[in-house]
């Protein structure tokens, strides 16, 4: 049999999950001791997520797969690399069923950060990658990131943008993308009201995904039990939006796979695990997910190793906790014959743990290669080619080249005017409050003493700006803008039109980014030149910049945590009640545009 010992070649071809005949024949020979293993792990205790046991066993690896688990040493040859695992526990590589690899960072830097923590497979729920590319280039990007040392399966969004009257991919484009072997199905299906109202467009796409054996991951926060029944009929297969045990039980009892989340913005795991520890339900359809993590959290706490540790400390039996982050994820996606456990024929993703209660690995084997040790990567990652063909709306010519302060003025008559104000409840949710906004020199005025500031969405391509008002933001900033948001445009808030304009123009100079301006000076900035949405910095470097900005904002009164979430969801009509979009100020409940954008260029 031919052998390929080139590590780079092996890494680049691992995404072909289906086992070949040649590979199978070789593994069979190794299992019987008739051919040597490439790597032999001796003396460890295997966490068997299939049987629920912890067993002493050796592991023989040939190429990217496990050939043997047991006591035999017959496959150890003169060139076999033997790793001593005495006193260590051996766990399958972690798998995140709903990870966002684009929270300012990008898939490459994310993979480099999570691999030393034991995550060897992710199901990418990228909100931003599809927006930077044409359909053809997004498919190209899916293929490229599938070739990372961390196995990446990509979701196809049902909608590329989350605001009214904007459709996503056509049915034909959707079929093309879903047919890609590296695409796992739909991600973040939040248009459940459309499904309940009998909209055939999203339903046809869901049925298409299901016919191709792909998944339809729901985003059904706030949905009642009776409505969940209809969504189960429509074909949604999972949901990561359970905020309490009852919501998790509702989804589980109706046949959904339920993702127990612990993200930066929604740290829900501590209360959700009581579905296991108190309700004593079957755990076969429960999964752990980190959902959206910020760069500081990835540096400070890690990834799925943090979730497994927290679950164990909350009373979940250890092997069960490991299963929720490994085998259950593989089973959900129909990949349990290749991923999710330590068994013959499976891809060799093996974590070396110092104890059963300590999920952070001291060594990581991924795709049969030793890739990390004591938190450090041992391999190089390929350079991201998608940086070169990602579209950037914030770095090129447009109808609106630069922003001027007067573009944010809202003309009116009289001393004040009743205006639908966005009252911030938390980083994601706001409420509509119709309140009198004062007038000055013929324009509505952001009054800092009343906590009232302006909020705007700048669409350079269309040459127009939607301007509204915001309360309860907390931070007294003259201007703060972000090109990272669900509309892929420029969102800006502030008390000063001059500072708002400076913040936007500085972000354009950076070709995308987050900028804070006070009294005519830029005081904080994070460049996001990759499509205007992502940084090219390694995550430890990015984390320091994010922490510096968050510290500054907290010092001036911001209480909403990381502004990434505030700006990211600001135009998203998935959530109540008022959203500012490129099409205007939108009332989600009434499905009505209240204030239209003004053409300024």
Say how many CA atoms lie within 13 Å of 66 toward its Cβ.
Answer: 25
Chain segment 533-587, per-residue pLDDT in tens: 999 999 999 999 999 999 999 999 999 888 998 999 899 887 889 999 989 999 9
Query: What's the rounded mean pLDDT across residues 72-81?
Result: 98
CA–CA distance, 15 with 201 (Å, rounded to integer):
31
DSSP 115: G
What burial letters (b/e) apply to 407-446, b meaning 16+ CB within 10 Å? bbbbebeeeeeebbbbbbeebbebebeebebebeeeebbb
Backbone angles phi, psi at 249, to 5 degrees: -65, -40
CA–CA distance, 259 with 264 (Å, rounded to integer):
15
Indicate the pTM of the whole model.
0.93
DSSP 108: H
Q: How buried is residue 165: exposed, middle or buried, by Cβ count under 10 Å (0-12/13-18/19+)?
A: exposed
Chain segment 297-320, per-residue pLDDT in tens: 999 999 999 999 999 999 999 999
* Site of tokens 């995904």: 209
CA–CA distance, 162 with 575 (Å, rounded to integer):
10
DSSP track, 288-313 = EE-BS--HHHHHHT-SHHHHHHHHHH
3-state secondary structure 245-265: HHHHHHHHHCCCEEEEEECCC
Q: What local confidence, expressed as pLDDT, does residue 562 receive?
A: 87
Q: What local confidence, expressed as pLDDT, does residue 450 receive?
A: 86
Q: What local confidence, expressed as pLDDT, does residue 14 receive?
A: 38
Query: What's the rounded mean pLDDT across residues 264-286?
Result: 96
Q: What local confidence, expressed as pLDDT, does residue 164 receive?
A: 58
Chain segment 493-518, per-residue pLDDT in tens: 999 999 999 999 999 999 999 999 99
Give Cα 289 distance to the centre of its chain. Answer: 10
Q: What local confidence, expressed as pLDDT, does residue 16 receive?
A: 58
CA torsion sign for 269, 270, 271, 277 is positive
Sorted by where each starts, the structural domains of the chain and their CATH numbers stand as 103-315 (3.20.20.140), 405-599 (no CATH)
DSSP track, 428-459 = S-EEEEEEEEEEETTEE---GGGTEEEEEEEE
In total, the chain counts a number of residues equal to: 601
> Are the C-beta atoms of 124 and 160 separated by less than 8 Å?
no
Task: Collect contacts of 230-237 with beta carbons under 8 A, ≥24 apart.
Answer: 230/195, 230/196, 231/192, 231/195, 231/196, 232/256, 234/195, 234/203, 234/206, 235/203, 235/206, 235/207, 235/209, 235/210, 236/189, 236/192, 236/206, 237/185, 237/210, 237/332
Chain segment 44-65, per-residue pLDDT in tens: 999 999 999 999 999 999 999 9
**DSSP H/E element including 110:** helix 107-114
Query: What's the rounded mean pLDDT across residues 266-273?
Result: 95
Reply yes or no on whether the pLDDT at 9 is more than 80. Answer: no
Give me the chain's average pLDDT, please. Answer: 93
CA–CA distance, 86 with 428 (Å, rounded to integer):
48
Structure tokens belonging to residue 543: 């984390």
């Amino acid at each position: 049999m031919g052998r390929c010992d080139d590590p780079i070649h092996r890494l680049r071809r691992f995404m072909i999950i289906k086992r070949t005949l040649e590979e199978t024949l070789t593994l069979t020979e190794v299992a019987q001791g008739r051919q040597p293993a490439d790597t032999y792990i001796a003396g460890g205790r295997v966490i068997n997520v299939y049987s629920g046991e912890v067993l002493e066993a050796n592991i023989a690896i040939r190429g990217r797969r496990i050939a043997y688990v047991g006591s035999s040493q017959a496959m150890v040859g003169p060139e076999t690399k033997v790793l001593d695992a005495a006193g260590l526990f051996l766990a399958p590589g972690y798998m995140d069923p709903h990870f966002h690899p684009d929270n300012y960072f990008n898939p490459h830097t994310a993979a480099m950060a999570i691999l030393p923590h034991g995550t060897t497979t992710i199901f990418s729920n990228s909100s931003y990658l599809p927006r930077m590319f044409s359909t053809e280039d997004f498919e190209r990007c899916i293929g490229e990131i599938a070739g990372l040392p961390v196995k990446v399966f990509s979701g196809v969004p049902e909608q590329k943008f989350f605001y009214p009257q904007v459709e996503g991919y056509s049915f034909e484009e959707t079929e093309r993308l879903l047919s890609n072997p590296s695409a796992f199905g739909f991600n973040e299906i939040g248009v459940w009201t459309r499904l309940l109202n009998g909209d055939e467009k999203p339903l046809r796409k869901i049925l298409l995904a299901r016919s191709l054996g792909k998944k339809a991951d729901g985003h059904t926060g706030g949905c009642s039990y009776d409505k969940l029944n209809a969504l189960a009929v429509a074909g949604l297969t999972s949901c990561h939006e359970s905020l309490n045990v009852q919501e998790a039980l509702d989804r589980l009892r109706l046949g959904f796979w339920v993702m127990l989340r612990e993200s930066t913005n929604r740290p829900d795991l501590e209360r959700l695990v009581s579905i296991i520890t108190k309700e004593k339900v079957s755990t076969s359809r429960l999964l752990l997910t980190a959902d959206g993590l910020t760069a500081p959290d990835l540096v400070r706490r890690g990834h799925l190793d943090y979730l497994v540790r927290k679950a164990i400390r909350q009373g979940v039996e250890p092997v069960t906790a490991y299963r929720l982050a490994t085998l259950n994820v593989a089973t959900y996606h129909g990949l349990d014959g290749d991923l999710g456990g330590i068994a013959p024929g499976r891809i060799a993703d093996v974590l070396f743990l110092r104890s059963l209660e300590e999920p952070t690995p001291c060594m990581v084997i991924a795709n049969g290669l030793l890739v990390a040790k004591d938190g450090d990567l041992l391999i190089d990652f390929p350079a991201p080619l998608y940086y070169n063909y990602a579209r950037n709306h914030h770095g090129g010519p447009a109808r609106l080249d630069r922003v001027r302060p007067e573009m944010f003025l809202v003309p009116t008559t009289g001393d004040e005017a009743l205006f639908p104000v966005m009252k911030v409840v938390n980083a994601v949710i706001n409420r509509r409050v119709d309140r009198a906004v004062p007038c000055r020199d013929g324009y509505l005025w952001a009054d800092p003493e009343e906590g009232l500031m302006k909020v705007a969405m700048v669409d350079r391509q269309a040459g127009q700006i939607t301007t509204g008002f915001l309360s309860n933001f907390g931070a007294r900033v003259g201007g703060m803008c972000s090109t990272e948001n669900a509309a892929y445009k420029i969102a800006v808030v502030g008390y000063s039109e001059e500072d708002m304009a400076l913040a936007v123009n500085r972000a354009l100079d950076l070709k995308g980014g987050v900028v804070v301006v006070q009294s005519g000076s830029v005081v904080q900035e994070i460049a996001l030149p990759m499509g205007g949405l992502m940084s090219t910095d390694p995550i430890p470097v990015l984390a320091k910049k994010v922490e510096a900005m968050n510290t500054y904002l907290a010092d001036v009164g911001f209480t909403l945590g990381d502004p990434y979430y505030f700006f990211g969801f600001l135009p998203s009509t998935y959530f109540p009640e008022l959203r500012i979009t490129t099409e205007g100020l939108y009332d989600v409940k009434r499905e009505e545009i209240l204030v239209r954008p003004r053409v300024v260029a």
